[in-house]
A = this chain, B = another copy of it.
Amino acid sequence: MLVVELIAKKQRGEALSAEEIAFLIQGYTHGDVPDYQMSALLMAIFFQGLEESEGRTFLKAMIDSGRRINLDSISGIKVDKHSTGGVGDKTSLIIAPAVAAAGVPVPMISGRALGHTGGTLDKLESIPGFRVRLSEDEFIAVLKETGCAFGAQTSELVPADRKLYALRDVTSTVSIPPLIAASILSKKIAEGTNALVMDVKVGSGGFLRSEQEARALAATLVRWSAAENVRTVVFGTDMEQPLGKAAGNAPEIMESLEILRAGNGDKRLVDLSCALGGAMLHLGGKTGTLQEGISLFKQTLQSGAGFEKLKQIAAAQGSSSDVIEHYDRHWKPKQQRDILAERSGFLTKVSARETGFALVDLGAGRRTAADPVDHSAGIIFFVQAGAQIKPGDKLATVYWSNGLHVQDALDRLANVFQISDAPVPPVPLFAFYGDAHGIQDASNLSTLFTT
């Protein structure tokens, strides 16, 4: 098979066969297909698209590019959670321990901050001693011992995805929906999970430009994962504004621990955690309905069992229960600055996207994959979209220790808050939800939280 002829085939709008896709992905993984041919193919795919069967073959070929973790030695239905990425989204840190505490094993392999969105691994690494670079054996051992393990993608897990993602990032070929779906699912399926709860972010703070695009991705994710025998529930949730009060690594750990102690905290953050965690308990076989799952999750959270579980996990992954218990002693940013309102009116927007870029400038995120991270840096918000504001009100406090571009961050923060004379109704948290049976509007989802 000649790569140039396969590029030409896709360029003409024809579908590639399963053999051809396997040849391309295998060849690319092993370096036989060079970057310059793969990027030309990706751009042809951007314009000509992939048929359903091609996308699924891509997914399979990507899974087959590396090892598949076998979690059969762990009893029960293993359930993982994945988000397409946002700002201030620390739900994984809250959900995973609480779901494990309720008896459903959670094998969680997460990513790092890149671009304007945060990453669970960086957040965990702001817990002193916490090791996320586990070997496969260590990952399984922690999962067996505590019911939950937080790991990083190893070089053996879907190597094709690591290479492809890096290439897509620099060749403007990230926005190809079936390849986004294949990238997400390949890692989750290779990690050995039995079921999955997906949070597809809608809004400028995430990667999907429109709700329509987010819904299409959600539908693909539930369809393809069902075909791979991974039961999946998906939620489409707002990412116009940051999630919760804190953004940045250590500040988000602080907020997560506050909620894990007794279930109290920012309503949108708690509601989303309950929805995702409840769906995990439901998929894990603990309840007959999603609504019951949400109730059970809420009880678990309020009992503080998730907090105790995180102590166990931290101890098993190189940190200690004491660090978790007294985490506030470990967050010591060297500098801080309050952001005050300059005019009166209604806060009509707190931009997640601008917040994300300000975090990068503060050193909490990365401009390139090689950048070091200032774990102490972050922002605590004191207001949410919808609030009535008067001049001098404290909108947020910015923290950092060794920020190189602090002034850039402060300049950006001027664009984060939008104050207008008339109020604007806040964007609902949930946009849609669904599973392999279909995606539906989230309008009736709020009733699940009234119990």
Contact = CB atoms under 8 A, between A and B. Distances in A.
A360 interface: no
Interface stretch (A37-45, A66-74, A104-112): A37-45
A56 B298 CA distance: 65
A141 interface: no
Nearest to A170: B4
Interface string A274-306: 000000000000000000000000000000000
Interface string A44-63: 10110000000000000000
Contacts of A7: 171-172
A225 interface: no
A395 interface: no
A3 B173 CA distance: 13
Nearest to A6: B172
Interface string A154-186: 000000000000010111110000000000000
A35 interface: yes
Given A7-B172, A170-B4, A172-B8, A40 B42 contact: yes
Given A11-B46, A47-B47, A4 B40 contact: no
Instruction: Work out how many copies of this chain go into the complex.
Output: 2
Given A35-B36, A37-B39, A47-B47, 10 more contacts: A4-B170, A5-B172, A8-B172, A36-B39, A36-B170, A39-B39, A43-B43, A43-B44, A44-B46, A44-B47
Interface centre among A35, A42, A169, A172 (most CB of B within 10 A): A172
28 contacts: A3-B170, A4-B170, A7-B171, A8-B172, A11-B43, A11-B46, A11-B172, A34-B35, A34-B36, A35-B35, A35-B36, A36-B36, A36-B39, A36-B171, A37-B170, A37-B171, A39-B39, A39-B40, A40-B40, A40-B42, A40-B43, A40-B171, A40-B173, A43-B43, A43-B47, A44-B46, A44-B47, A44-B172
Interface residues of A, number: 24
Nearest to A167: B36
Contacts of A34: 35-36
Nearest to A38: B36
A172 B40 contact: yes
Interface string A2-31: 011101100100000000000000000000
Contacts of A37: 39, 170-171
Contacts of A172: 4-5, 7-8, 11, 40, 44
A37 B37 CA distance: 10
Complex A-B, nearest 8 residue pairs according to Cβ-Cβ distance, in ascending order? A43-B43, A35-B36, A40-B171, A7-B172, A8-B172, A39-B40, A36-B39, A47-B47
Contacts of A3: 170
A35 B38 CA distance: 11
Contacts of A36: 34-36, 38-39, 167, 170-171
Contacts of A5: 172
A38 to B, nearest CB: 7
A39 to B, nearest CB: 4
Interface in A124-176: 167, 169-173
A44 B35 CA distance: 16
Contacts of A46: 11, 44
A270 to B, nearest CB: 38
A37 B169 CA distance: 10
Contacts of A171: 4, 7, 36-37, 40
Nearest to A45: B43
A152 B39 CA distance: 32
Interface string A385-425: 00000000000000000000000000000000000000000
For A37, A43, A170, the residue with the greatest tally of chain B CB atoms inside 10 Å of its CB is A43
A301 to B, nearest CB: 42
A322 B36 CA distance: 49
Contacts of A11: 43, 46, 172
A38 B35 CA distance: 11
A175 to B, nearest CB: 9
A3 to B, nearest CB: 8
